A and B are shown apart, each in its own frame.
Chain A
Amino acid sequence: MNLTLKIWRQKGPEDKGKLVDYKVNDISEHMSFLEMMDVLNEQLIEQGDEPVAFDHDCREGICGMCSMYINGEAHGPDRGVTTCQLHMRMFNDGDTIYIEPFRAAAFPVIKDLVVDRTAFERIQQAGGYISVNTSGNTQDANAIPISKHAADEAMDAATCIGCGACVATCKNSSAMLFVGAKVSQYALLPQGQVEAADRVRNMVAQMDLEGFGNCTNTGACEIECPKGISLENIARMNREFLSASFIDS
C-alpha cells in the first residue's frame, strides 16, 4: 500500500516543531508500524535527509519504550497493543496518517517523536517500592499465604509497562492510572501494607509536583492502555489516599 505520513518534526526541546509530509510506497500489510517507520528512515537516509527519531526497543509490546500518537490515538487505532505491535493491516492503501509525540506538560519533547518521561521515574522513586534489603534470609516465600484472588489482582495492576499512553490520552494529562496501578499492586499484597500510607501520600505528592492533572473519570486511559489496566486502580488509590489522611505521617 502507498501512504502519506504527516509526522511531527522537532529538532529539540526549544524548537517550535511542525508537521512534515512524507510518502512511503509498497508497504506490506504484514509490517508492523515501526517497520514502516524503518522503511521511511532508510528512505530519508538515502536521500540525505535526517531520519525521524522515535523511541522503541523490545518491539514485542512489553518494554514500554515506544510512544507514538497515531491519528489521534496513543499507540494507534488497534486495542490492547503498543505501537510496535500495531500492524499495517489496520490501514488502507492511500491513507494519510498523522504521527505525533505523546503530548503532556510533564512529558516535554526531546526530539521529533521522542519525549522525556522521567517524571514517571521520580514518582516511582517517591514510594514505588517495599523497603526490604537484599539478604539471603528474608522469610520463606511461602510463609505468608496470599489469596489467589489478591495475587492475581496485584498482578493485573503490576502489568503496567509505564509507556505513558494514559497520560497522553487524558484530557487532563493525568497520571493517575499509572500511579494507581503501582499503589494498587502493593496495597493488595501483605508485604506492601507496612508502608502503605506513606507510599500513597508520597507518590501522589510527587505526581502533583510533576505537573500531571487530576482524574475526572472519563475513562479514556483505560481504553487506550495497551495492557488493559483497569480504572479500579484509580478508585483504589483514592481510597488508599483518603484512608492515609487519617493516619499520622
Chain B
Amino acid sequence: MSVLDSKVPKGPIKDKWTTYKDKINLVNPANKRNIDVIVVGTGLAGGSAAATLAELGYNVKAFAYQDSPRRAHSIAAQGGINAAKNYQGDGDSTYRLFYDTVKGGDYRSREANVYRLAEVSANIIDQCVAQGVPFARDYGGLLDNRSFGGVLVSRTFYAKGQTGQQLLLGAYSAMNRQIARGKIQMYNRHEMLDVVKIDGKARGIIARNLITGEIERHSAHAVVIASGGYGNVYFLSTNAMGSNATAAWKIHKKGAFFANPCYTQIHPTCIPRSGDYQSKLTLMSESLRNDGRIWVPKNIKDAKAIQQGKLKPTQIAEEDRDYYLERRYPAFGNLVPRDVASRAAKERCDAGYGVNATGEAVYLDFASAIQRYGKEQAKIHGIKNPSKEKITELGEAIVEAKYGNLFQMYEKIVDENPYKTPMMIYPATHYTMGGVWVDYNLMTTVKGLYCIGEANFSDHGANRLGASALMQGLADGYFVLPYTIGDYLADEIRTGAIATDTKEFEEVESEVKERINFFINNKGSKSVDYFHKRLGKIMWDKVGMSRNEKGLKEAMAEIKALREEFWKEVKVPGKAEEMNPELEKAGRVADFLELGELFAKDALMREESCGGHFREESVELEGEQKGEAKRNDKEFAFVAAWEYKGEPADAVLHKEALEFNDIELKQRSYK
C-alpha cells in the first residue's frame, strides 16, 4: 500500500552520506545562474538554505511574513546548539550524538537522517564561528560547552541565553551578503498562500503582499518550505504570534504527505497562564532544572490554601513538600526528559495540587541551590562560620551569574522575586516533531518541493532533545539541502525560466483570491481569535499531554463542528487590498482548524505511548516502570504519513517502516 520511498542510500551508516554526496548529480556554475529556487521562511533552516543556495549561484527568492528575515522565531531559542565536537574530551562522538538523538526521540526517527545530522553538526559550529557568531568562551579563549537534559556529555554550544538569536543573525548576515549581490531577492512582509504545480512538479507559489494586499505569482524550478512548526494549533504556545502552518498545510493539500502530526513537544519550564486574556506563553530555558527543584505541597489542604492566596510556599515546611520528580525518578530526578517532566506536572495538578489560582502551576525552587552554592563559596573565600545571610548572599550571586537573565525575565512577567520565593512553572506547547514527510533528500512526495527545519518531520522522532532544533535547522539549510537539491536541479538545466502566465498559476491564484474574498465578504459575528481560542482549548484538553480514545474521538468531532461554524460565522474587518492583520489570521486559523483534526486522527491511530505522545491506554501495568509510557515497537515502529483526500478525517495513512540496524531498541528508563 505504501508509496513512500525514503531513498536512504545503501551501505554502512557511517559512509552513507559521504558516498552519496560523492555520487550525487551536480549543476555546473554557468547553469546555476539560470535556475531559480523559492525559499519560504527565513528562520535558521530557510535563512541558511537561502544564503547557501545563493552562494552556490542559484537565483533565490526568499519570503518572510515579518518585516525582516532576522525576526523569524528561531530567534527566540535560548539554550544552545548541540555538536559532536568532543572539545571537552568527555567521550562524545558522532555516534553518541546519533544514539542520544534516536533514543531521546523514543526510536521513532529515521536512522540514516539522524546519523547525517550528527555527522554535519561539527561543521555547523565551524561555519558559525567563521561568520562571527560570538559563542561563549572560556578564559583560554576556546569555546565553552554546557550540558543539557537527557544526555551524559557536554556538547551544547551557546551564546548567553540567546543562542538562537545569534545563530539566526549569522544566517541573516550570510543572506544580506547575497541580497547585496542580487543573488537573493528578499520578499519581506509576504505570505505564501499556495503552491503551484505544473506537470506534477512544484513550480512556484502564490503570495500575498501583506502591505498592499496584492496577490503575486512567483515561479521557480524548485520550492523549499521552511516555515516552522504548527504549535499554534493550541492557540497558547511558546511560538510567535504569527507562527503558522499555512505553507506546510497548503502543500499537504497539494500532494505532500504530512507525517506524525501527533508528535508535539510540551516544554515543562514555561511561565504559567495567568488569565483568559493571555496571548502566548513564555518559555524559560530548561537549564534551570540543573539547579531548581520541582515540588508541590504534599497535603491537599496546603495546596488549596495556596490556590486561594492564604498561604505562601515559603511557609510550607520541608517535610510537607512533595519533590515528585525526585520521588518518582530517583536516577534522573529533576533532569528527566521534557515529556516525562511535563506529564508529571500535569499529573500532580490534575490531582489538585497546583500552586496558583488556576491550579495549573508547580514550584521550581532554587533555595537549596542557593544554600549549596553559598556554602561552597564561603569555603572558597575562606569565610569561617558564615552567617545564614552571608551564605544566602554568596549563593544568590552564583545563581544570578548562571540564570540572571531568566530570573529577571520571570520577575518582569510575574512580578515576584524568584530569589526569595519559588518560581511557578507549567508545561506549554513548544515544538512540533511532526511535519511534512520528506525523503533522505528532504524532498516531499511532490517533485521539486522540499521541506526543511521544524516544518519537516524527519530527525527528532517522537521527542526532541534540548539544543537539537537549532542543529537540525542549520544542518538542513547549510549542509544537506544545498547538496541534495542539486541532484534534482541537474535535470532542470534545459527547462528555462518558468512562465507565470499559465493556466496553472491562474487557477491557483483564483482559488487564493476566492478564499480571501470570502473572508472579507462573510458578515459573520465572531472574530478569528474567538475560534482560535476554542480550537486551542479542544486541542489542549483532549489532544494535549495525555490522550485517550474517547477524548480523541470527541476532539475530531468537535474540531469538525467548530470548523463548520468558523466558515459560517467568522468576521474579518477591513479590505483585501490593504494591510489587514485580521485577514492574515483568518487564513492561518482556517488551516489550523483542518490540521487539528488530522492531528487528533493521527493520535487516535497511534495506540502506543512514545515520546511526546502519551496514550493513557498504553502504560506499563507492573514492575518498576508501572504507570510509565509503554511503547509498542511490534505494531508502531513506523512513520505515519497522511495523504490528503478532501476532509482531514478522510486522510489516507501510508506507513514508512522504521528499521534500526545500528541501534538496539530499548525502553527509555529514567528511574
Binds A, one of B199-207, B276-284, B513-521, B647-655: B276-284
* Cβ–Cβ < 8 Å partners of B66 in chain A: 57, 63, 65
Chain A residue numbers with a CB within 8 Å of B128 are 141
Quick check: A30 and B274 within 8 Å, CB to CB?
yes
Q: If the complex has contacts A110-B579, A118-B188, A129-B174, are A62 and B75 also in contact, measured as CB distance less than 8 A? A: yes
Chain A's closest residue to B582 (CB) is: A51
**CB contact under 8 A between A34 and B573, given known A63-B75, A141-B129, A151-B135:** no
Chain A CB within 8 A of B137 CB? yes
Once A63-B66, A134-B55 are accepted as A-B contacts, the answer to whether A57 and B240 lie under 8 Å apart by CB is: yes
Distance between Cα atoms of A56 and B159 in the complex (Å): 24
| Residue among B138, B179, B241 with max Cβ neighbours from chain A (10 Å) | B241
- Name the distance in Å between B8's Cβ and chain A's nearest Cβ: 20
Bound CA–CA A51/B211 (angstroms): 16
Check B177–A38 contact: CB distance below 8 A. Answer: no
Q: How many A-B residue pairs have CB under 8 A?
A: 211
Partner among A85, A89, A145 whose Cβ is within 8 Å of the Cβ of B140:
A145
Interface centre among B67, B140, B180, B574 (most CB of A within 10 A): B67
Name the CB-closest residue of B to A37.
B279
User: Shortest beta-carbon distance, B601 to chain A, in Å?
Assistant: 30
A56 near B166 with CB under 8 A, answer no
Minimum Cβ distance to chain A for residue B204 (Å) = 24
Residue tally, chain B, CB below 8 Å to A? 80
Which residues of chain B come closer than 8 Å to A192, judged between CB atoms?
Answer: 132
A130 touches B131 (CB 8 A): yes
Q: Are B578 and A139 in contact (CB under 8 A)?
A: no
Q: A58-B76, A142-B142 are in contact. Are A51 and B123 (CB under 8 A)?
A: no
In B313-363, the 8 Å CB interface with A consists of none
Contact with B along A197-227 (1 / 0, CB 8 A): 0000000000000000000000000000000
Q: Given A50-B573, A129-B173, A158-B134, are A139 and B242 also a contact pair (CB < 8 Å)? A: no
With a cutoff of 8 Å between Cβ atoms, the chain A residues found around residue B188 in the complex are 118, 121
Could you say which residues of chain B place their CB within 8 Å of the CB of A232?
none
Partner of B134, one of A49, A81, A110, A155: A155
Contacts of B176 in A (CB 8 A): 121, 124-125, 128-129
CB-based contact A162/B70 at 8 Å:
yes
Q: Most B CB atoms within 10 A — which of A58, A80, A146?
A: A58
Alpha-carbon distance between A164 and B87 when the two chains are bound, in angstroms: 39
Interface size of A in residues (CB-CB distance below 8 Å): 79
CB distance from B57 to the nearest CB of A (A): 11
User: Is the pair A139, B131 in contact by a Cβ cutoff of 8 Å?
Assistant: no
Fill in one digit per residue for B554-591: 1 if any A CB lies within 8 Å of its CB, else 0: 00000000000000000101100011011000000000
Contacts A28-B277, A141-B125 hold; do A85 and B413 have CB atoms under 8 A apart? yes
What 1/0 mask marks residues of chain A from 59 to 81 whose CB sits below 8 Å from any chain B CB?
Answer: 11111110000000000001011
Residue on A nearest B274 in the bound complex, by CB: A30
A59 to B280, Cβ gap below 8 A? yes
> Are A56 and B241 interface neighbours, CB within 8 A?
yes
Q: Is the CB of B578 within 8 A of A138?
A: no
> How far, in whole Å, are A35 and B453 apart by their CA atoms in the complex?
30
| CB 8 Å contact bits of A116-157 with B (1 = contact, 0 = none) | 111011001110111111111111111001111001101100
Q: Which 5 A-B pairs have the closest CB atoms?
A: A145-B141, A129-B173, A155-B134, A154-B134, A141-B129
Binding site for B on A (CB under 8 A): 11-12, 28, 30-32, 34-35, 38-39, 42, 44-46, 48-51, 53, 55-65, 78, 80-81, 85, 87, 89, 110-111, 114, 116-118, 120-121, 124-126, 128-142, 145-148, 151-152, 154-155, 158-159, 161-162, 185-186, 189, 191-192
- A and B contact pairs by CB, cutoff 8 A, 18 listed: A28-B274, A32-B413, A62-B75, A63-B240, A78-B412, A110-B211, A111-B578, A121-B68, A125-B176, A129-B173, A129-B174, A129-B176, A134-B478, A136-B479, A148-B138, A151-B137, A159-B162, A189-B132
